[in-house]
Amino acid sequence: MRITLHYSWRDRPIHKVENKVILITGTRKGIGRYLVEYYARKGLEVIGCSRNQVDYQFKNYHHFCLDVCDEVKVRDLFAEIRKRYKGLDVLINNAGSASMNHILLTPLKTVQDILNTNFVGTFLFSREAAKLMKKNGYGRIVNFATVASILKLEGESVYASSKAAVINFTQILARELAEFGVTVNAIGPTPIKTDLIRSVPQEKIDGLVGRQAIRRLGTFRDISNVIDFLIQPQSDFITGQVIYLGGVS
Amino acid sequence: MTNNKRITNVIFSAVEEVNGQLPRKQRLEKSIDTILFGKSGKLDSLALVNLIVAVEEKIQEEFGVTVTLADERAMSQTNSPFKSLGTLADYVALLLEGQTNSQG
């Protein structure tokens, strides 16, 4: 974070903050990989993680191999961030997993895995990030929700419920962290062409897109556009919000 | 320096950090007898959170290990380890001992 003093139109000094260090979870592929490249090219120090190594590199990108719900490894990652970067400005809780299935065919192990990655991972990273952000009195946390929660999509009961938990978590965390200068918001993407929807039948996707106000698949650019807005320092009065893409409400 | 002395120093260093954010009359004395919360304690819940986070961070710096002070064991103890700086130091010693045993 870089802070410089500027003067507003009322000649009242205001702090101008610039995001310098961003942590993104689930960066091996899909949206996470795109966001790494997007923010690395913008010149931010980007830190990412996934269970396995990535097949790309940027000079201002540092990768960690871990499971987002492994508390010990997550804490070690944040200790390293504190040592190396002295703070953290932005956290994007992107890591997620999905399994589309009827409840009668859903194994308990699948439920536990999805809750672990989508909710427990978001919880752990948010908790540790908030400790770092609190020190600087500034931070931006962006979580990933989904339109599947409000569209009540059949076959996605577990995935949508895990993301509904993320939404509630986002809203309460926004209140708990407001006094530290940390905002917490979420983005609710429509289907985007990634591995997450690879196994979903085309007619299901078409039906879902048909329920959006704007009927097309989302793009990576749609995601980074919303994130850019939420993490900009001027968005310090926006917290606890979920922004859905495609006009879903 | 003994481990207990190092732990006390870590806690006092965290107290100094938290004191810097507190109004004068709420600041903590650097003594193991200092009560943290309750009737004779000076900290509100937020200040206690700040202290716990600062202690965790300084343990990491001093001992090179990450501990979670607000873990299930702490929350389930009849006598809270967060009652005073002394009980906090004892609890940190217990956690560090556990870390050493699990590594050895």
Q: Are A190 and A246 in contact (CB under 8 A)?
A: yes
User: pLDDT tens digits, chain A, 249 residues: what are they?
Assistant: 666 555 444 554 455 578 899 999 999 999 999 999 999 999 999 999 999 999 999 999 999 999 999 999 999 999 999 999 999 999 999 999 988 889 999 999 999 999 999 999 999 999 999 999 998 999 999 999 999 999 998 889 999 999 999 999 999 999 999 999 999 999 999 989 877 677 778 888 888 899 999 999 999 999 999 999 999 999 999 999 999 999 999
Find the mean pLDDT for residues B11-21: 94
Distance CA A204, CA A184 (A): 31
Best residue in B60, B61, B65 to probe A by mutation, most A CBs within 10 Å?
A: B60
Which residues from chain A sit within 8 angstroms of residue B57, using beta carbons? 82, 131
B3-62 residues touching A, CB cutoff 8 A:
46, 50, 53, 56-57, 60
Q: Choose, out of A75, A136, A180, the residue to mutate when testing the contact with B (most B CBs < 10 Å).
A: A75
Of the candidates B46, B50, B66, the beta carbon closest to that of A75 is on B66
**B60–A79 C-beta distance less than 8 A:** yes
DSSP string covering A19-54: --EEEEE--SSHHHHHHHHHHHHTT-EEEEEESS--
Residue B43's region, left for phi above 0, alpha for psi from -120 to 50, else beta, is beta
pLDDT of residue A99: 85
Q: Is B42's pLDDT higher than 80?
A: yes
Rounded-to-integer distance, Cα A185 and Cα A145, Å: 10
Pairwise pLDDT comparison (A24 vs B79), residue with the higher score: A24
Asked if B66 and A131 come within 8 Å (Cβ–Cβ), the reply is no
Probe site for chain A from B60, B63, B66, B99 (most A CB atoms < 10 A): B66
Q: How many angstroms separate the CA of residue A179 from the nearest CA in chain B?
A: 10
| DSSP-derived secondary structure letter, A218 | B
Interval B47-66 mean pLDDT: 92
Interface predicted TM-score of the whole assembly (ipTM), two decimals: 0.78
Does position B67 have pLDDT exceeding 60, yes or no?
yes
Chain A hits for B53, Cβ within 8 Å = 131, 134
What is the pTM for the complete model shown? 0.88
